[in-house]
């Protein structure tokens, strides 16, 4: 089962980028997902959904948000193929975006409290 937050991926990211930058990187990820969520809510064309899902998928994979990456991949694939199922997948994507943001916000708060 895909994880909302894969801590091993976060550890690898921190190792590559530097642990001192981890809080900033996660903050940027949370902000980006907030922005993408608003864009998904405004989208109405399959091309928009495809492009947004592709962007979300890439960011999610980088930050270990496996569940979000999976649903974004499904939306992207459906939109690319012109599937009507995209309208059913978008609410799932939005829910997963919200869950992911919440989980990463909690993780960020843990980081901040442990470094204080």
Report CA-CA distances (Å) from 11 to 14, 43, 68: 5, 34, 18
Domain ranges (residues) in the chain: 7-115
pTM of the model: 0.93
- pLDDT tens digit sequence for 28-70: 999 999 999 999 999 999 999 999 999 999 999 999 999 999 9
Note whether 94 and 75 are within 8 A (CB): no
**What is the SS3 assignment for 87?**
helix
Domain 7-115's class? mainly alpha
* CA dihedral sign, ordered 60, 66, 71, 75: positive
Q: Which tokens sit at 79? A: 């939109």
């Amino acid at each position: 089962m895909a994880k909302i937050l894969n801590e091993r991926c976060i550890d690898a990211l921190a190792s590559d980028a530097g642990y001192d930058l981890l809080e900033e990187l996660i903050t940027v990820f949370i902000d980006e997902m907030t922005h993408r969520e608003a864009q998904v809510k405004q989208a109405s064309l399959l091309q928009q959904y495809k492009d947004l899902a592709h962007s979300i998928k890439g960011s999610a994979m980088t930050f270990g948000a496996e569940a979000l990456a999976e649903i974004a991949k499904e939306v992207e694939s459906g939109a690319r193929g012109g599937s009507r199922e995209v309208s059913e997948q978008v609410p799932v994507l939005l829910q997963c975006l919200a869950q992911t943001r919440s989980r990463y916000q909690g993780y960020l708060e843990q980081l901040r409290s442990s470094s204080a």
